[in-house]
Amino acid sequence: MTICYLALGSNLGDRVDLLKKAVQLLSEEEKINVLAQSNIYETEPYGDVPQDNYLNAVVKIETTLAPIELLDTTQKIELELGRERLIRWGPRTIDIDLILMDGVTYQDERLTIPHIEVAKRSFVLIPLKDVYEKTALFGKNIEQLISETGNQDEVWKSRESW
């Protein structure tokens, strides 16, 4: 079994319900075991597309799936929850990104592990810190990485919960 970390985000529809449904669908997958969920955070949108704020979280799982199989599974769940890929960094019902897979580096045209943007995104790093057992990532303390993003003030703990 491999430990993986998935970043979840939603800013269309019932955002909390969509996050909960995504976790439920992940847990129903035979080769996935959901181990932990971060707090839910509210986040200003990333990129230049005008849109509503996101709710973000990170889920820690263990799986026997290969990287591409896990990507296919998360994309199937996104489709099931109404995800449409219309605008890059645009609004979405649900987004599930594979950000880390312990001991795995991987790259092809569809997937890069670790996620190429993880160290730049406080909306991923802050919830990751809730469920990540190590104190360092990419050779740096997670708090230092969060500080270096320069956008940590755009993320705050939501009143919403699981």
Measured in whole angstroms, the distance separating CA 17 from the mean position of its chain's CA atoms is 16
pLDDT tens, residue by residue, 20-75: 999 999 999 999 999 999 999 999 886 777 788 999 999 999 999 999 999 999 99
Query: Which residue out of 97, 110, 121, 159 is catalytically annotated?
Result: 97
> 41-43 and 155-157: which strand pairing?
antiparallel
Q: pLDDT confidence of 95, banded at 50, 70, 90?
A: very high
Catalytic residue among 14, 83, 102, 110: 83
pTM for the model stands at 0.93
Name the catalytic one among 15, 95, 121, 130: 95
Question: In this predicted structure, what is the pLDDT of residue 86?
Answer: 62
Q: What is the CATH number of domain 2-157?
A: 3.30.70.560
Look at residues 116, 119, 112, 115 and name the one whose alpha carbon lies nearest to residue 152. 119
For the chain, domain boundaries = 2-157
SS (H, E, C) 77-104: HHHHCCCCCCCCCCCCCCEEEEEEECCC
Residue 61 DSSP label: E
Looking at residue 134, what is its pLDDT? 87
Annotation says 48 is catalytic: no
Question: What are the backbone angles phi and psi of residue 98, rounded to the nearest 5°?
Answer: -80, 110
Q: How far apart are the first and last CA of the chain?
A: 25
15 in active site: no
Could you confirm whether 83 is annotated as catalytic?
yes
